[in-house]
């Protein structure tokens, strides 16, 4: 039991950090969804019932949807809910599957690094303003580098858990995660 404690502590710490980030992103997603719904209902009500539409409701709902979608990427990444092709899993040895998993993680990291850099450039070089509000579009475009950074952190934490899980018996890891989910 003692020989696994360091690896187990690293896995537990990575799990806790990932969970905190997931909860913060989840709260932001819930806020964006609720605000987007309220704004859309307000827009429909004033357009069709009051016959005096607000010009800003569609635009605000669209920007909230952008933030919602990009923020949800890190949640899906942490929970391993992204689309994947698992056709080869039944035909190749376990070691090949693990190796492919690491290769996919590296490619995803490269993608998120490029997305972070290009999103940052897009945000800081932005000169546009929103059409109905006179705010910089940088506030909307910032969703891209923020989401890429959050996804990189979650990917890094998942890779740490995956690497150190090889040093700890599965019963130790699953039992600890089950205890955390219950409490």
pLDDT per residue, tens digit, the chain (183 aa), is 566 788 889 999 999 999 999 999 999 999 999 999 999 999 999 999 998 989 899 999 999 999 999 999 999 999 989 888 777 777 888 888 889 889 999 999 999 999 999 999 999 999 898 888 888 999 999 999 999 999 999 999 999 999 988 877 766 655 455 444 443
3-state secondary structure of 136: strand
Task: Give the per-residue pLDDT at 174.
Answer: 54
Query: 149, 114 in Cβ contact below 8 A?
Result: no
Instruction: Return the closest-CA partner of residue 11 out of 183, 180, 182.
Output: 180
Tell me if 41 is assigned to some domain.
yes
pTM for this predicted structure: 0.84
- To the nearest 5 percent, what fractions of the chain are helix, strand and coil? 80, 0, 20
Tell me if 169 is assigned to some domain.
yes
Q: What is the DSSP letter of 34?
A: H
Tell me if 35 is assigned to some domain.
yes
User: What tokens were used for 77?
Assistant: 């990444």
- The Cα–Cα gap between 91 and 14 comes to 31
Tell me if 115 is assigned to some domain.
yes
Query: 68, 33 in Cβ contact below 8 A?
Result: yes
Instruction: Return the closest-CA partner of residue 154 out of 66, 22, 28.
Output: 22
Tell me if 70 is assigned to some domain.
yes
Tell me if 180 is assigned to some domain.
no
Q: Distances in Å between the alpha carbon of 106 and those of 115, 150, 176?
A: 14, 16, 27
Tell me if 69 is assigned to some domain.
yes
- The Cα–Cα gap between 144 and 114 comes to 11
Domain assignment of residue 120, given as a range: 2-173
Instruction: Return the closest-CA partner of residue 143 out of 25, 21, 22, 18.
Output: 25
**For residue 45, what is the enclosing H or E element?**
none
For residue 77, what are the contacts with CB-CB under 8 A and spacing of at least 6? 108, 151, 154, 155, 158
Task: Give the per-residue pLDDT at 181.
Answer: 44
Task: Give the per-residue pLDDT at 84.
Answer: 80
Task: Give the per-residue pLDDT at 183.
Answer: 38
Number of domains in the chain: 1
Tell me if 182 is assigned to some domain.
no
């Amino acid at each position: 039991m003692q020989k696994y404690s360091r690896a187990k502590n690293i896995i537990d710490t990575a799990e806790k950090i990932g969970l905190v980030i997931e909860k913060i992103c989840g709260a932001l997603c819930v806020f964006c969804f609720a605000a987007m719904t309220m704004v859309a209902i307000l827009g429909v009500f004033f357009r069709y019932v009051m016959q005096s539409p607000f010009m800003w409701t569609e635009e605000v709902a669209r920007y909230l949807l952008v933030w919602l979608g990009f923020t949800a990427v890190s949640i899906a990444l942490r929970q391993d809910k992204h689309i994947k092709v698992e056709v080869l899993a039944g035909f190749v040895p376990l070691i090949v599957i693990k190796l492919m998993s690491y290769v996919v993680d590296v490619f995803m990291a490269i993608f998120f690094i490029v997305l972070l850099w290009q999103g940052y450039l897009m945000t800081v070089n932005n000169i546009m303003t929103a059409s109905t509000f006179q705010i910089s579009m940088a506030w909307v475009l910032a969703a891209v580098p923020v989401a890429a950074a959050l996804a990189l952190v979650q990917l890094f934490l998942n890779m740490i858990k995956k690497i150190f899980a090889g040093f700890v018996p599965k019963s130790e890891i699953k039992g600890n995660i089950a205890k955390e989910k219950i409490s």
